[in-house]
Amino acid sequence: MGLMEIFKFALRGISANKLRSSLTMLGILIGVGAVILLVAVGNGSKVEVEKSLQGLGTNTLTVSSGRAIRSSTYSTDLTLSIVEALKDKNAAPDILSVSPVVQSSQTLTYGSTDHTTTVIGTSTDYIQASSGKIATGEAFNADDAAKAERVLVIGQTTATELFGNEDPLGKQVSVGGQIFTVIGTLQKKGSTGFNDPDDTAIAPLSAVQRALTGYGPVNSITIEAVSADAVSAAQAEATAILNTKMHVTSTSNTPYQIRSASQLLETRTATAETFTTLLGAVAAISLLVGGIGITNIMMVTVTERTREIGIRKALGAPRRVILTQFLLEATMLSLVGGLLGVAGAFIGANFQITGITPVIVPSSVVLALGVSVAIGLFFGSYPASRAAGLRPIDALRYE
Amino acid sequence: MKAVIDVRDLVKTYGEGEATVHALAGVSLTINRGDYVAIMGSSGSGKSTLMHILGCLDIPTSGSYLLDGVDVSRLNDRQLALVRNRRIGFVFQAFNLIPRTSAVANVELPLAYAGVKASVRRKRALAALDMVGLGNRADHDPNQLSGGQQQRVAVARALVSEPALLLADEPTGNLDSKSTADVLAVLDQINREGRTIVLITHEDEVAHHARRVIRLKDGEIMSDVRQRAIQDERDEVPSWA
C-alpha cells in the first residue's frame, strides 16, 4: 500500500471527525501561540528599556537631595551655591556642565486645550546633558536665562497634545496662569514604557522660579562628565564638593543621593532581566501545560480509536500501514495547529499588550513549534503503536 | 476433498493458577471446501473463542491450526495480516463498521490493504454492495443505515476480497427477523457459489440453513451433525447468478 494511499486514509481519518480534529488543533494552536506571545512580551519590554536607556545619556550624573536615613542635623537642600561650587574647574576638572533642575507639574493652556505636564526650570546646558536635541526653533540662551525670559522648549508629546498639527513656534501658552512663549521643540526620544520623556516643557530656571515655584532649593542637579570614561572621576569630584558644602561627617548617611546613568542602566537592565526570566518561566510552564494538553487530547483521540484499529487489523491491515496512518494524522494535526499558533502569535504581536509592543524571539518560535509537534507526534503515534501491537481481538474488545 | 480448516487438539486457557478458565479444552475439527457449518452452544461454551482463533484474531494456547494447509502458528505478524486480508472474511455480531465512513469506503478497506488500485477497488466494492442489495446506499454512513443494512455492508466487506472462508460470529444476533432473513439469504447465496461458511448462532432456524451443525459445550465438541451434503461447486448455481 503506497504512501499516497495512506495519506488519503489519514486525511479521511481527520475529516471523519471534524470537531475532534479542530479541538486537537485548537489545543496545539493555543499552546504554541501563548508561549511565543509571552516570550515576545517579555522581550518587548526588555527592548523598550534598552531603547529608553540610550535616550538617557550615559555621561550624566544626577544629584538629588534627601538622606537615605532621615536625620535633621543638617540641611538637605541643594542650593544654587552648591551648583556654583560644582562648576569650579579646578576642583572638578572632569565635570563638563552642571544644570540645576526645578521640576513642577503645571497645566499648560493653549486656546481651549489643556495639558498637564512636568515643567523643568534649568540652565542652558541641560538639554544637551539630558541628550535632548532641538527639532525646530531654538533652545534658550544664557541671555534669556539672565533676563528670566518666559520662553519654553517643549517635547513632542506636549506639542502634539497642545497644538495638534499646528506649528507651536512663537505661540503663547499659559503655564499655571503665566504667559510663556514656545521658542523650540525637542526631537522625539521614545517611550520608556514607564514615563514619557517627550512629555515635558523646559524653561530657564530664573523664569520658572519667578513665575511658578518661587526661589528656593532646586530638586536635583544634572552633572555632565567630559566623557563616558570620566563619569566615575566626575562622581568622586562631585561627592567631595558636596561633602564639603553640605558639611557631611558620615559618608554612610549623606544628605544627597548621587546616581550615574550607568548605575540607572544597571538597575533597569537587572529589572528587565528579572522580567525576562520570569516570563521565560511562565512560558516554560505554559509550554508544559500546553504539552500536557496536547498529550491528553492525542492519547484520548487515539485510545478512543483502539477499536477502529482492531477492525482495521481484522481486515488485514499490516501494522506498518496503521502506524503510518496515525503518524500522518498526528503530523498533520500538530503541524497545522502549530503553524496556526505561530500565525496567531505573529498577528497578536502587532498589538500592544499592557502598553508593551511584543517583539517575537525567533528561537521561541522554533522551540514552541518543535516541542508541541514532537509531543503531538509522540503521543499521537505511541498509543497507536500500542494498539496496533495488540492481537486484533484484544483491540476489538477494548472499551 | 480439500480441507479449508484443519484444527487438532485446540486448547485456549485464560488466567493463571486456580483462576484458570479452559475456554477450549481440546477441539479437533476438519471443515472442507464449500461446506456451511453452524457452531452452536450456550454462552461460555467456547464457540466465540474458537471463531476468533479460526479468524486469526486470537492465538491458541496449544494445538495446531492449518488454514488451507498452512500452519498459522508459524506465521509472523505481517504474514498473519496477509492471511486475514486474503483468505478470511470476518463478520462480527456488532457489525464493526468504521464510524463516519461511507458504506462503500468501508467495503473498499480490505482491498485497499491488499493494494488494489482505487478505480478497481471502487468497482468491486460497488459490485459487492449490489450483491447484498445495498448498491443504492453506497454513500451512506453506518449511522444512517439500519442494523440489518449495516450487517449486510459488513458481509459485503467480508466478501469483497473473495476469501475462501467466511466466518460469521452471530451475524444475526442483533437483528430483527426481517433483517435476519435478508442476511441469511445472502449467506445461502454465496455458499451456493462455492464459498465456505462457518457461523456461530444459537438460533435453531439460523442453524437450519447450514449443511452441518456442531454443538460445543464447556470447550469440547458435543455433537457434529451433517444436515445436507456439500454440493458440487458447479451444480445448482442459480440461473440468475
Cβ-defined contact of B99 to A308 (cutoff 8 Å): yes
Chain B residues touching A392 at Cβ < 8 A:
56-58, 84
Q: State yes or no: pLDDT of B106 exceeds 50.
A: yes
Q: Which of B58, B78, B113 sits opposite A393 (nearest CB)?
A: B58
At B235 the pLDDT is 47
The nearest alpha carbon in chain B to A316 belongs to B85
Chain B residues touching A311 at Cβ < 8 A:
96-98
Chain B residues touching A320 at Cβ < 8 A:
78
At A53 the pLDDT is 65
The nearest alpha carbon in chain A to B96 belongs to A311
Cβ-defined contact of A319 to B78 (cutoff 8 Å): yes
Q: Which of B52, B82, B118 sits opposite A316 (nearest CB)?
A: B82
Measured between CA atoms, how close is A376 to chain B, in angstroms? Answer: 23
Backbone angles phi, psi at A375, to 5 degrees: -65, -45
Sheet holding B196-200, edge to edge: B88-91, B165-169, B196-200, B36-40, B212-217, B220-226
Average pLDDT over residues B40-65: 92
Interior CA angle at A153 toward A148 and A159, to 5°?
Answer: 140
Rounded-to-integer distance, Cα B81 and Cα A295, Å: 30
SS3 state of residue A232? helix
Residue B237: which pLDDT band, with cuts at 50, 70 and 90?
A: very low
Percent of chain B with pLDDT over 90: 67
CA-based nearest residue to B126, from B134, B118, B114, B116: B134
The nearest alpha carbon in chain B to A12 belongs to B101
In this predicted complex, what is the ipTM?
0.90
Which amino acid, residue A136? Answer: T
At A52 the pLDDT is 67
Rounded-to-integer distance, Cα B142 and Cα B100, Å: 7
CA-based nearest residue to A1, from B97, B126, B117: B117
**Helical packing angle, B177-192 and B118-131, nearest 10°:** 120
CA-based nearest residue to B113, from A384, A321, A13: A321
Using a CB–CB cutoff of 8 Å, tell me whether A12 touches chain B: yes
Q: For B207-225, write each residue's pLDDT tens digit.
A: 999 999 999 999 999 999 9
Rounded-to-integer distance, Cα A287 and Cα A31, Å: 6
Cβ-defined contact of B99 to A396 (cutoff 8 Å): no
- Mean of the per-residue pLDDT values for chain B? 89
Residues of B with CB under 8 A from a CB of A: 52, 55-59, 77-78, 81-86, 90, 92, 96-101, 105, 109-110, 112-115, 118, 157, 161
Concatenated DSSP letters for B170-226? STTTT--HHHHHHHHHHHHHHHHTT-EEEEE-S-HHHHTTSSEEEEEETTEEEEEEE
Q: Mean pLDDT in each 10-residue stretch from start to end of chain A (399 residues)?
A: 84 86 86 86 79 68 72 65 84 87 89 89 85 85 87 90 88 89 86 69 90 85 83 86 81 78 72 77 79 81 87 92 90 91 92 84 89 86 86 87
Rounded-to-integer distance, Cα A234 and Cα A248, Å: 18
Q: Which of A1, A314, A317 sits opposite B57 (nearest CB)?
A: A314
At A195 the pLDDT is 65
Chain A residues touching B58 at Cβ < 8 A:
391-393
Name the A residues in 372-391 with CB < 8 Å from any B CB: 391
For residue B190, CA distances in Å to A205, B86, B152, B200, B232 come to 109, 17, 13, 17, 14
Using a CB–CB cutoff of 8 Å, tell me whether A319 touches chain B: yes
Which amino acid, residue B205? Answer: E
Identify the residue with better confidence: A196 or B112: B112
Interior CA angle at B102 toward B99 and B108, to 5°?
Answer: 105
- All structural domains of chain B, each given as residue ranges with its CATH number in brackets, are 34-52+75-226 (3.40.50.300)
Cβ-defined contact of B55 to A316 (cutoff 8 Å): no
Q: Which of B58, B83, B115 sits opposite A1 (nearest CB)?
A: B115
For residue A48, CA distances in Å to A279, B30, B85 come to 16, 85, 65
Chain A residues touching B56 at Cβ < 8 A:
392
